[in-house]
Amino acid sequence: MRNAITIKKEFNAPISEVFDLLSKHATYNKAFAPLQVVRIKDSADPQRPDGVGSIRRMGFGPIKPLQEEITLLEENQRIEYKLINNPLVKHHLGQIDFKEITPYITLVTYKIEFTAKAPLVSKLILAQLKAAITLGFSKLAKSIAS
């Protein structure tokens, strides 16, 4: 059994605007400050450098130990990524789904599955992630409200 969290947030903006915002690595600098996110590998699609195959590093200052790779990007529908090159993690999958409620309200559902190699650590990390993402999404939603 995997440990998982789900965060749902309504954004008062069209689905295309919300998708565009959340499909860019740089957005996460604003949402999760002081955490810093930097793209270290572009996707093969020059129109969408943060797309499938792109890799981002996350951390603080010069220390950015976490790496995530975008594995799926379906315009205005879903983004998926996985944690890579981390010896402390057995499994990590992030999935962000987008649903149009009205032309100007978008529901974002963010799911994370996470299993650490050390027992009992997964639930603690997921609780911290849930708190950080909930706060970060609230900040983003306020910043783009139409």
CB atoms inside a 10 Å sphere around CB 15? 22
d(CA 139, CA 143): 6
- Measured between its terminal Cα atoms, the distance across the chain in Å is 40
| Residues of the domain holding 101 | 4-144
Above 60 in pLDDT, residue 1? no
How confident is the model over 75-117, as pLDDT tens digits? 999 999 999 999 888 999 999 999 999 999 999 999 999 999 8
CATH number, domain with residue 19: 3.30.530.20
User: What are the structure tokens assigned to 2, written together?
Assistant: 């995997």
SS (H, E, C) 11-41: ECCCHHHHHHHHCCCCHHHHHCCCCEEEEEE
> What is residue 134's three-state secondary structure?
helix
Residues 6+ apart with CB under 8 A from 88: 116, 117, 118
In the chain, the number of structural domains is 1
How confident is the model over 31-60, as pLDDT tens digits? 888 889 999 999 999 999 999 999 999 999
